[in-house]
């Protein structure tokens, strides 16, 4: 592989001049520039990125942590982040944490090993205490997920409102026995969404039945599991608020398999408004998250942070709107 020196000698110029051409610096005459370009083409030269990164002390790469790559919500979010990053000449490194504390921590260390200039977290597994120390090494921005005590900027949705409008919708449909499913730990996003659920119930003088609370529910299969648990209950909920469209789809599919009618026997409400929501039957009532906008805003916040040298402690919270999409499952 040719190096910058090879290009320099073929062009009859110094390495400095070649470097100026590579980086589009001014003050290089047209003739020399062409000389360099010709030499580069002739040799099939490409600059060594590791050398550039080492010298420049930056990589123009942002790590994006996602909890589960097979969840379409996150791949759509990643695509949005990626589009925006490309506009600013940044690369994205997709990091699949699999909801694992240790994997997350290892990815966060990418900032310490200088493999990335910043990190966007769309999920949080560790306590903020663990993570905070890493903010010394570069900007971290929270995207969608958040956590109490985090002293970094975040772009998020009003999850309390999301939990509220979903639950309130079910109540308006006449339900009083409403179950609730969520994924990981009840903190940040999940906590607020649950608070919205609780608030909506309380507003109508309803209280929470602990038997109808299901945690660790992430996937289609988890949804099936939940429905099976319910169908064995003596006192069953008549409606379910779920944390994702996939879970809702699993519940609906299993309900039909068992001969239950949706929404007659059990109403279901999803979250995200993924493509699957319109394909399943009955079509899914769900809460639409503005994925594209949240990705775009997050990357803009990151760019802004990258541009200022002094890592000031001030951080902002940007909140985007949610929307209930009423279909047939409720």
Partner DNA sequence: GTGAAAGCGCTAACAT
Partner DNA sequence: ATGTTAGCGCTTTCAC
- Stretches 10-18, 70-78, 143-151, 177-185: which one binds a copy of itself (CB under 8 A)? 70-78
Q: Which is nearer to a copy of itself, 58 or 177 (CB)?
A: 58
In the range 214-233, which residues lie near a copy of itself by CB under 8 A? 219-221
Which of these ranges, 13-21, 65-73, 93-101, 124-132, lies near DNA under the rule CB under 7 A?
A: 13-21
Taking CB under 7 A as the criterion, the residue among 34, 41, 42, 51 binding DNA is: 51
Choose the contact partner of 326 out of DNA, a copy of itself, none; CB within 5 to 8 A by kind: none
Contact partner at residue 93 from a copy of itself, DNA, none, CB < 5 to 8 Å by partner kind: a copy of itself
* CA 98 centroid distance within chain: 13
CB of 252 to a copy of itself, least distance (A): 8
Q: Kindly tell me which residue out of 17, 71, 159, 286 binds DNA, with binding defined by CB under 7 A.
A: 17
Shortest Å distance, C-beta 87 to DNA: 21
* Residue 108 touching a copy of itself (CB under 8 A): no
If binding is defined by CB under 7 A, does position 76 make contact with DNA? no
Q: What would the two tokens of residue 93 be?
A: 């490194």
Considering the rule CB under 8 A, would residue 292 count as an interface residue with a copy of itself?
no
**Which member of 10, 13, 262, 269 binds DNA (CB under 7 A)?**
13
Per partner kind, with CB cut-offs from 5 to 8 A, the member of DNA, a copy of itself, none near residue 151 is none
Positions in the binding site for a copy of itself (CB under 8 A): 1, 44, 46-51, 53-54, 59, 69-70, 72, 75-76, 78-79, 82, 93-94, 96, 109, 112-115, 137, 219-221, 246, 249-250, 252-253, 256, 275-276, 278-281
């Amino acid at each position: 592989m040719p190096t910058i020196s090879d290009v320099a000698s073929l062009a009859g110029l110094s390495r400095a001049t070649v470097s100026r051409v590579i980086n589009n610096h001014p003050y290089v005459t047209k003739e020399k520039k062409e000389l360099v370009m010709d030499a580069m083409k002739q040799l099939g030269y490409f600059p060594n990125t590791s050398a550039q990164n080492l010298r420049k002390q930056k990589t123009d790469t942002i790590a994006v942590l996602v909890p589960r790559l097979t969840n379409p919500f996150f791949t759509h979010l990643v695509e949005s982040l990626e589009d925006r990053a490309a506009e600013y000449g940044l690369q994205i490194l997709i990091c699949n944490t699999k909801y694992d504390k240790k994997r997350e921590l290892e990815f966060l260390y990418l900032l310490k090993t200088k493999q990335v200039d910043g990190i966007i977290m769309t999920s949080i597994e560790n306590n903020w205490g663990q993570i905070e120390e890493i903010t010394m090494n570069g900007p971290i921005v929270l995207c969608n997920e958040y956590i109490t005590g985090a002293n970094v900027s975040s772009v998020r949705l009003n999850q309390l409102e999301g939990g509220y409008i979903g639950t309130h919708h079910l109540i308006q449909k006449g339900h009083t026995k409403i179950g609730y499913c969520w994924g990981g730990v009840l903190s940040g996003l999940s906590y607020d969404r649950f608070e919205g659920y609780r608030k909506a119930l309380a507003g109508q003088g309803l209280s929470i039945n602990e038997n109808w609370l299901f945690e660790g529910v992430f996937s289609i299969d988890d949804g099936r599991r939940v429905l099976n648990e319910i169908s064995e209950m003596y006192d069953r909920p008549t409606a379910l608020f779920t944390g994702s469209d996939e879970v809702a789809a699993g519940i609906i599919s299993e309900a039909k398999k068992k001969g239950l009618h949706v929404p007659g026997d059990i109403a279901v409400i999803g979250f995200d408004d993924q493509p699957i929501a319109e394909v399943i039957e009955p079509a899914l009532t769900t809460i639409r998250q503005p994925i594209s906008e949240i990705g775009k805003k997050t990357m803009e916040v990151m760019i802004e942070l990258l541009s200022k040298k002094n890592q000031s402690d001030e951080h902002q919270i940007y909140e985007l709107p949610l929307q209930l999409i009423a279909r047939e499952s409720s």
